[in-house]
Chains A and B, each alone.
Chain A
Amino acid sequence: MELDAVVLARIQFAFTVSFHIIFPTFTIGLSAWIATLLVIWRRTGNVRYQELARFWTRIFAVSFAMGVVSGIVLSYQFGTNWSRFSVVTGNVIGPLIGYEVLTAFFLEATFLGILLFGWNRVPPTLHVGAAILVAVGTLFSAFWILSANSWMQTPAGHEIIDGIAYPVDWLAVVFNPSFPYRLAHMVIAAYLTTSFVVLATGARYLIAGRDRDHAMIMVRMGLGMAILLAPLQAVVGDIHGQHTAEFQPAKIAAIEAHWDGARPAPLVLFALPDEKNETNRYEIAIPGVASLFITHSMEGLFPGLKDFPVENRPPVWGPFFGFRIMVGVGLAMIAMAFWGGFLWWRGRLGGARLYLRLASFTWPLGFVAVLAGWTVTEQGRQPWLATGILRTMDAISPVSAAQVATTLVLFVLVYSVVFTAGIVYINRLINKGPTPEDALAEGVPNRPLTGATSPDAPVGAEI
Chain B
Amino acid sequence: MEAYLPVIWAGLIATAVALYVVMDDFDLGVGILFPFAKKEEERDAMMNSIAPFWDGNETWLVLGGGGLWVAFPQAYAVIMPALYLPVTVMLLALIFRGVSFEFRFASKPKHALWDFAFTAGSILAAFSQGVILGGVIQGITVANGEFAGGAFDWATPFALLCGLGLVAGYGLLGATWIISRVEGDLAEAARRQATVLFPAVLVFIGLVSLWTPLQFDRIAERWFSTPNIWFLWPVPLLTAGLAFLAWRSLRLKQEMVPFFTAVGLFLLCFIGLAISTFPYLVPPSLTIWDTAAVPASQVFSLIGVVFMLPIILGYFAFVFWTFRGKVRVGEGYH
Residues of chain A touching chain B, judged by Cβ–Cβ distance below 8 Å, are: 58, 61-62, 64-66, 68-70, 72-73, 75-76, 78-80, 83-84, 86-87, 90-92, 94-95, 97-103, 105-107, 109-114, 116-118, 120-122, 166-167, 170, 397-400, 402-403, 406-407, 410-411, 414, 418, 421-422, 425, 428-429, 443-450
Beyond A68-B98, A72-B62, whether A445 also contacts B73 by CB under 8 A is: no
Query: CB within 8 A of B73: which of A94, A99, A100, A101?
Result: A94
Query: CB within 8 A of A62: which of B59, B67, B103, B305?
Result: B103
B residues within 8 A CB of A422?
99, 103
Q: Which residue of B has the minimal Cβ distance to A166? A: B294
A445 to B101, alpha carbons, bound, how many Å? 12
The reply to whether A73 and B91 form a contact with Cβ atoms under 8 Å apart is yes
Q: Which residue of B has the minimal Cβ distance to A98? A: B70
A450 to B146, alpha carbons, bound, how many Å? 57
Beyond A101-B62, A167-B300, whether A76 also contacts B44 by CB under 8 A is: no
The reply to whether A111 and B315 form a contact with Cβ atoms under 8 Å apart is yes
The reply to whether A69 and B95 form a contact with Cβ atoms under 8 Å apart is yes
At the interface, is chain A mostly helix, strand, loop or mixed?
helix
Query: CB within 8 A of A70: which of B87, B89, B95, B105?
Result: B95
A220 to B305, alpha carbons, bound, how many Å? 43
**Which residues of chain B from 269 to 315 have a CB within 8 Å of any chain A CB?**
293-294, 296-297, 300-301, 304-305, 308-309, 312, 315
The reply to whether A80 and B106 form a contact with Cβ atoms under 8 Å apart is no
Beyond A83-B147, A414-B95, whether A98 also contacts B315 by CB under 8 A is: no
The reply to whether B92 and A410 form a contact with Cβ atoms under 8 Å apart is yes
Chain B min CB distance to A169 (Å): 10
Query: CB within 8 A of B148: which of A78, A92, A398, A407?
Result: A398
A residues within 8 A CB of B79?
79
A116 to B305, alpha carbons, bound, how many Å? 27
B residues within 8 A CB of A98?
66-67, 69-70, 301, 304-305
**Beyond known contacts A80-B80, A95-B304, A399-B81: 12 more, CB 8 A cutoff:** A62-B99, A69-B95, A75-B65, A76-B87, A90-B69, A94-B293, A102-B304, A105-B59, A117-B52, A121-B333, A414-B96, A418-B96
**Selected interface stretch from B183-191, B199-207, B243-251, B318-326:** B318-326
Interface string of B14-27 (1 = CB under 8 A from A): 00000000000000
Report if B108 contacts A (CB, 8 A). yes
A68 to B76, alpha carbons, bound, how many Å? 21
A residues within 8 A CB of B301?
94-95, 98-99
A residues within 8 A CB of B319?
110, 113-114
Report if B56 contacts A (CB, 8 A). yes
Q: Which residue of A has the minimal Cβ distance to B83? A: A80
A452 to B96, alpha carbons, bound, how many Å? 35
The reply to whether B106 and A86 form a contact with Cβ atoms under 8 Å apart is no
**CB-defined A-B contacts under 8 Å, sample of 30:** A65-B101, A68-B58, A72-B91, A75-B69, A78-B69, A79-B81, A86-B80, A87-B145, A91-B294, A97-B69, A98-B305, A102-B63, A102-B308, A106-B315, A110-B55, A111-B315, A113-B323, A114-B52, A166-B294, A167-B294, A397-B84, A398-B81, A403-B85, A407-B85, A418-B99, A421-B107, A422-B99, A422-B103, A445-B44, A446-B48
The reply to whether A397 and B323 form a contact with Cβ atoms under 8 Å apart is no
B residues within 8 A CB of A103?
304, 308
Report if B11 contacts A (CB, 8 A). no
Chain A min CB distance to B65 (Å): 6
Report if B208 contacts A (CB, 8 A). no
A90 to B300, alpha carbons, bound, how many Å? 13
A112 to B54, alpha carbons, bound, how many Å? 11
Chain B min CB distance to A136 (Å): 13
Q: Which residue of B has the minimal Cβ distance to A63? A: B102
Report if B88 contacts A (CB, 8 A). yes
The reply to whether B95 and A101 form a contact with Cβ atoms under 8 Å apart is no
The reply to whether B94 and A117 form a contact with Cβ atoms under 8 Å apart is no
Report if B332 contacts A (CB, 8 A). yes
A428 to B334, alpha carbons, bound, how many Å? 23
Chain B min CB distance to A317 (Å): 30
Q: Which of A75, A400, A450 has the most CB of B within 10 A?
A: A75
A residues within 8 A CB of B146?
83, 398
A residues within 8 A CB of B105?
444-447
A94 to B52, alpha carbons, bound, how many Å? 29
B residues within 8 A CB of A447?
105, 332
Query: CB within 8 A of B56: which of A64, A66, A100, A109?
Result: A109
A residues within 8 A CB of B151?
399-400, 402-403
B residues within 8 A CB of A73?
91, 95
A66 to B96, alpha carbons, bound, how many Å? 10
A69 to B103, alpha carbons, bound, how many Å? 13
The reply to whether A97 and B294 form a contact with Cβ atoms under 8 Å apart is no
Q: Which of A109, A121, A421, A448 has the most CB of B within 10 A?
A: A109
Query: CB within 8 A of B77: which of A79, A92, A167?
Result: A79
The reply to whether B66 and A101 form a contact with Cβ atoms under 8 Å apart is yes
Report if B61 contacts A (CB, 8 A). yes
B residues within 8 A CB of A114?
52, 318-319, 322
A97 to B145, alpha carbons, bound, how many Å? 23
The reply to whether B106 and A62 form a contact with Cβ atoms under 8 Å apart is yes
Beyond A95-B70, A114-B322, whether A80 also contacts B300 by CB under 8 A is: no
The reply to whether B99 and A102 form a contact with Cβ atoms under 8 Å apart is no
A68 to B95, alpha carbons, bound, how many Å? 9
A400 to B319, alpha carbons, bound, how many Å? 44
Report if B197 contacts A (CB, 8 A). no
B residues within 8 A CB of A84?
77
Beyond A83-B147, A102-B305, whether A407 also contacts B88 by CB under 8 A is: yes
Chain B min CB distance to A138 (Å): 13
B residues within 8 A CB of A105?
59, 62-63
Q: Which residue of B has the minimal Cβ distance to A62? A: B102
A392 to B69, alpha carbons, bound, how many Å? 19
Report if B78 contacts A (CB, 8 A). yes
Chain A min CB distance to B115 (Å): 14
Query: CB within 8 A of B108: which of A69, A399, A444, A448?
Result: A444
Chain B min CB distance to A314 (Å): 26
B residues within 8 A CB of A414?
92, 95-96
Beyond A167-B294, A398-B81, whether A106 also contacts B88 by CB under 8 A is: no
Report if B47 contacts A (CB, 8 A). yes
The reply to whether A101 and B48 form a contact with Cβ atoms under 8 Å apart is no
A residues within 8 A CB of B52?
113-114, 116-118
A62 to B102, alpha carbons, bound, how many Å? 6
Chain A min CB distance to B10 (Å): 15
A443 to B145, alpha carbons, bound, how many Å? 56
Top 4 closest A-B pairs, CB basis?
A79-B80, A90-B73, A113-B52, A83-B77
The reply to whether B44 and A446 form a contact with Cβ atoms under 8 Å apart is yes
A209 to B31, alpha carbons, bound, how many Å? 42
Chain B min CB distance to A231 (Å): 36
The reply to whether A445 and B332 form a contact with Cβ atoms under 8 Å apart is yes
Query: CB within 8 A of B59: which of A64, A87, A106, A170?
Result: A106
Report if B316 contacts A (CB, 8 A). yes
The reply to whether A117 and B56 form a contact with Cβ atoms under 8 Å apart is no
B residues within 8 A CB of A407?
84-85, 88
